[in-house]
Structures are given as C-alpha cells and as structure tokens.
Homo-oligomer: A and B are copies of this chain.
C-alpha cells in the first residue's frame, strides 16, 4: 500500500523548511532548522534527520513517508547533486539525494532547484493548476525561474535549464553579475537589483527623495517600495524601470515557449501594481504581434514558505532514487 505522506524540504540560504504533506497537498505539520550552522554536509543531514524524526513522531507519521522531495539552489534533478551552490556552505559537489536517502533508511529522494520546486508547487496546488505551459519567475535576492512546457518541468539535457535570471538585458556596460558576466536580468530585477537601481538613481538625479534619508548602502527594495507607496517620485521611477526591463525580458521569453502565464513569486512580487503595471505595459509594447494580449501576468497565490515545500513534496511522490 502506498504510504500516505511525502516529506517536502526547501533548503534556502538561511532556513531549511520541511513539511509533512498529504496526497491532497495539505501541509500536515512543518518545522525548520538553520541551513548554515554546519560547514560539513553530513552534520547538516544529521541535524535535519533528528528534527524531521521529531516532527514525524509528534504527528504519528514515522513509517508513513512515501518519498522525500528536496528543493535547493543549484540542485540537479538528474544527478541528485548540489553543484556550485554559492550560497550554501558544503562545497562544490554535494551528493544530496544519496546522503539524505541513506540517512532516512532508504526512503526514495528526488531533488530539484528551488525555482523549479516552486513551479511544481504552483502547478500542483497554486495559480498554475491546469496550465500546461507557464513560466515561474522568482524575484528574491536573485531572479530564478522554473519553466513548464507540455505540462512538464523543463530540465534540459543536463538538468540545469531555466536560468532566466541570467539572460542578458544590457549587452554593453551592463551591471556585474554574481555569475561572472555582466548585464544579466537579475542584476536589475532582483530585490538586490532594485536596491542597486536606487543607488544609481539617487546619484544621478538631484531632486529630493524619501530614500535620501537612508544611508545609501543600507537601502533595500522594501525601502524603495515604502517610499513609492508614500508617493516618492524617484522610488516610483525605480519600479517603472524594473518593470520595463522585466516586460522586455518576458517578451523574449514568449518567443521561446509561448507560455499561458508568467507567475511571479518572492518578496518583490508583492509590490502590486507598482511593479505589475509597468511589466504589463512593457510586455505589451515589446511583444511580437502574434503573441500580444495572450500571456497573463499573475502573482503567486501560495504562501512563500508553502510553495517551495509543497513543490518539493510533490516530487516526493515520484522520487525514485534510493540509497542502498
């Protein structure tokens, strides 16, 4: 008989959130540990295992886990490894599926990157239910993406497809990106990118702004949002600039996969019309005629913590990798 639950684990740069999820996508119970406490992955897995076992015991679910799904930055669906995950402390190649499965006594494990996990969550339980073609865009510290075509996650031949935060938006004099190149979408349109834009605008422009009251290196995208809501002209222009670039990028993405919708997720996606209006206007202006008016722009309906855990957990139902 199929066991009634799966375990979803979302490994973020700060917290690792995990939840017991039933077949209808209800999070039965969840908890978290700090991700960065251990520099050795085995120690991290030991602590994760102990915390999960407590949660399972408290919920009478110790022998009821069908599979484990894990979402983590740079996790590869095909190989089960974390590869060059610069925000995680465990080295260049971590055999995460193998080590977790072994620690959990051979329960099957599947892994994918965090944006793909969020896309699966959205498709299974959120705004993308019933959609066969959509693009999930996560606007957080970076810009991530999960692409669904023909109802399937697009992994590419090596499992690394869907790095849309790194399409080039400025081919000359673009901003330096953490990936080593310049001009990537995420240098402009992540939360960090918005803060960079604020610093640039404040330096170039002379008019007063609420943002000038904050030490320039401390400005966050939340500060820009608050200032814009208070009517600050520079702050509103920063959102206009950000949305305009996202719309241009989305127009190019449409020529690739012609999605039914873009689903926005992450802190910046909560900016409402401040961001959505310029995105929609820019998409409409920049899109090829035959696609105009088709792709919707939708903000995720799922709680941020839930989407990643639910998405990861959905992988658990089909997880095949078992450690011996």
Contacts and interface: CB of A to CB of B under 8 A. Distances in A.
Interface in A147-183: 147, 149-150, 152, 154-164, 166-171, 179-181
A133 interface: yes
B152 A150 contact: yes
A124 B173 CA distance: 43
Given A179-B288, A181-B288, A290-B83, A171 B248 contact: yes
Contact of A150 (B150, B181, B286): B150
Interface stretch (A188-196, A208-216, A232-240, A257-265): A257-265
A255 interface: yes
A253 B255 contact: no
Contacts of A169: 171
Contact of A257 (B131, B132, B154, B168): B154
Interface residues of A, number: 46
A84 interface: yes
B160 A291 contact: yes
A294 interface: yes
A47 interface: no
Contacts of A74: 290
Nearest to A260: B157
- Per DSSP, chain A at the interface is loop
Interface string A131-151: 111000000000000010110
A251 interface: yes
Nearest to A147: B256
Contacts of A218: none
A252 interface: yes
A289 interface: yes
Contacts of A156: 133, 149, 257-259
A294 B158 contact: yes
B289 A179 contact: yes
Contacts of A147: 256-257
Contacts of A131: 157
Q: Which 9 A-B pairs have the closest CB atoms?
A: A156-B258, A161-B258, A157-B260, A133-B157, A163-B255, A167-B252, A161-B257, A166-B255, A160-B258
Interface of A: 74, 83-84, 131-133, 147, 149-150, 152, 154-164, 166-171, 179-181, 248, 251-253, 255-260, 286, 288-291, 294
Given A132-B157, A147-B256, 20 more contacts: A84-B290, A133-B156, A147-B257, A149-B149, A149-B154, A149-B156, A150-B152, A150-B154, A155-B258, A156-B259, A157-B258, A158-B258, A158-B291, A160-B290, A163-B288, A163-B290, A164-B256, A167-B252, A168-B286, A256-B256
